[in-house]
Amino acid sequence: MTGYCPLNMTKQSHLWKVCLASLLLANPKSSNLRIQEGLEELNEVGGLTAVALGWYMAKRGTLVAARYVEAKLGKPSLVRETSRLTPLELIKHPVRSRTKLFKKEEDPLKGIILSPGLESQLRDLAIKTKNTKRNNGFFQNVLFYGPPGAGKTLFAKSLAHHSSLDYAILTGGDVAPMGRDGVSAMHKVFDWAESSRKGLLLFIDEADAFLRKRAKAQISEDLRATLNAFLYRTGEQSRKFMLIIASNQPEDFDWAINDRLDQVIEFTLPGMIERERILLQYFSEFIAIPATSGSKKQRLKLVDFDWVKKCAEIAKKTEGLSGRELSKLVLGWQASAYATVDGLLTSEIIDYNTAKMMEQHSRKMAWLDKEQLDVRERAVEVI
């Protein structure tokens, strides 16, 4: 047993005792004879204390190592969703992880229907981002702004995949409730982003929830400190991560945020042509394909009517709806068909559900107008 520790250690030294105890603990599969020999040697030099110390060192070392790995590789608490694989995921789901790693690149706008002008801007951004990654350049900081459901998050994910980057999604609403922990949580997000070997697209949704003007009295000291931490970490562009922030109210941003943005892209609501294309896409995916699949378990059926013409008709009636709302509209048609005795989707069901959706949309817009009016009135009172 003594040959396992350095020769310059004497059996009377405390260092030799600790070394021998650690070796015994680290090799539980050793033969009983060798363990007995080691214990006898320890006993000869009063080494029972060394056993306890060796056990303590092994335990503490494991905890320190675990914390180090968690800090470097673990997903930060602020990250809601990410495509970045951790070693634990690779072990638990090897097949699924392999599929993610070797997934082929696709058109960044595949399945995303937007206006021609916006589509052109996003294709240009996709080309620049991909070439920046390929040439190890500095990534741009970009703002996506526009109404909810316009495709901001969907495109950000697609852009990351197209550019061979991982993505991580945060939401600004999660930052404010963290209070004093917000600063350390923010630093952890950026430390984690910079540790990515593949590169990371960091997408912050509803960013106006915590990137507000510091001059406003309503902002708390904790949130102000978190905002300062964010500004500190984004003062220079990075080769490791690309920052995209999304907002419905970019006018509320602190001016220092605007100074850090390299490109601003507005996501608008779909026009009539785009609405027709979106309706046709979702009708095919959620209704036409399932209804014609021939599966015995599928009870959805279509009455004989021209659904292409029907989608064009509905597109004219749904002005103001976002892509997300149009998706929910078509899913509502499907649910109503499932609720019938025979599972039939008729033109009348489509018309009824569309009328209800537009009624609800009008009510929501009235609530939003009232909320914005209240905000403006409070701002005047503060001034």
* Average pLDDT value over all residues in the chain: 81
Domain match, 256 and 282 both: no
The mean pLDDT of 304-323, rounded to a whole number, is 94
Domain match, 248 and 136 both: yes
Q: Can you give the pLDDT at residue 10?
A: 54
Q: In a 3-state reduction of DSSP, which class is residue 42? A: helix
Q: Can you give the pLDDT at residue 304?
A: 84
Q: How far is CA 115 from the centre of its chain?
A: 26
Angle at 236 between CA 86 and CA 135, to 5 degrees: 65
Residue that finishes a domain, picked among 73, 94, 110: 73
The mean pLDDT of 83-98, rounded to a whole number, is 63
Domain match, 133 and 258 both: yes
What is the C-alpha separation between 357 and 378, in angstroms, rounded? 32
Domain match, 212 and 336 both: no
Range in 37-46, 56-65, 69-78, 190-199 with the lowest mean pLDDT: 37-46
Q: Can you give the pLDDT at residue 98?
A: 57
What is the C-alpha separation between 152 and 144, in angstroms, rounded? 6
237: tokens are 């562009």
CATH code for the domain of 302: 1.10.8.60
pTM equals: 0.74
Does residue 213 have a pLDDT over 60? Answer: yes
Q: Can you give the pLDDT at residue 332?
A: 95
What is the C-alpha separation between 36 and 29, in angstroms, rounded? 13
Does residue 20 have a pLDDT over 70? Answer: no
The mean pLDDT of 261-268, rounded to a whole number, is 95
Domain match, 175 and 302 both: no
Longest dimension (CA), the chain: 95
Residue 383, domain member (yes or no):
no
Domain match, 262 and 314 both: no
Residue 360, domain member (yes or no):
yes
Does residue 53 have a pLDDT over 70? Answer: no
What is the C-alpha separation between 153 and 117, in angstroms, rounded? 18
Highest-scoring range by mean pLDDT, 42-46, 64-68, 114-118, 174-178: 114-118
Query: Of residues 176 and 362, which shows the higher confidence score?
Result: 362
Query: Of residues 45 and 297, which shows the higher confidence score?
Result: 297
- Specify the pairing of strand 241-247 against strand 200-205: parallel
Range of the domain at 330: 272-367
137: tokens are 């350049």
Q: Can you give the pLDDT at residue 144?
A: 97
Residue 374, domain member (yes or no):
no
Domain match, 203 and 279 both: no
Q: Can you give the pLDDT at residue 52?
A: 57
Angle between helix 307-317 and 347-382 (nearest 10): 20
Residue that finishes a domain, picked among 210, 245, 266: 266
Q: Convert 125-169 into a string of H (helix), E (strand) and C (coil).
A: HHHHHHHHHHCCCCCCEEEEECCCCCCHHHHHHHHHHHCCCEEEE
Q: Can you give the pLDDT at residue 234?
A: 93
DSSP lists the bridge partners of residue 344 as 301
User: In 31-147, which residue ranges form alpha helices assigned H by DSSP?
Assistant: 32-44, 48-73, 87-92, 94-101, 116-134
Q: How confident is the model at residue 123 (pLDDT cuts 50, 70, 90)?
A: very high
Q: Can you give the pLDDT at residue 336?
A: 94
What is the C-alpha separation between 380 and 183, in angstroms, rounded? 31
Domain match, 259 and 286 both: no
**CA dihedral defined by 255, 257, 259, 260, rounded to 10 degrees?**
170
The mean pLDDT of 19-44, rounded to a whole number, is 52
Domain match, 195 and 95 both: yes
Burial of 329 from C-beta contacts in 10 A (0-12 / 13-18 / 19+): buried
Q: In a 3-state reduction of DSSP, which class is residue 302? A: strand
The mean pLDDT of 180-205, rounded to a whole number, is 94
Q: How confident is the model at residue 294 (pLDDT cuts 50, 70, 90)?
A: confident
Range in 196-205, 206-215, 317-326, 348-357 with the lowest mean pLDDT: 206-215
Tell me the per-residue pLDDT of 58-75, one tens digit each, with 9 for 90 and over: 656 655 554 555 555 678
Q: In a 3-state reduction of DSSP, which class is residue 316? A: helix
Range in 86-100, 233-247, 256-270 with the lowest mean pLDDT: 86-100
Q: Can you give the pLDDT at residue 34?
A: 52
Among residues 217, 239, 232, the alpha carbon closest in space to that of 186 is found at 232
- How many independent structural domains does the chain possess? 3
What is the C-alpha separation between 38 and 73, in angstroms, rounded? 38
Query: Of residues 256 and 30, which shows the higher confidence score?
Result: 256
Q: How confident is the model at residue 298 (pLDDT cuts 50, 70, 90)?
A: confident
Domain match, 243 and 156 both: yes
Does residue 380 have a pLDDT over 90? Answer: no
Does residue 274 have a pLDDT over 80? Answer: yes
Does residue 42 have a pLDDT over 50? Answer: no
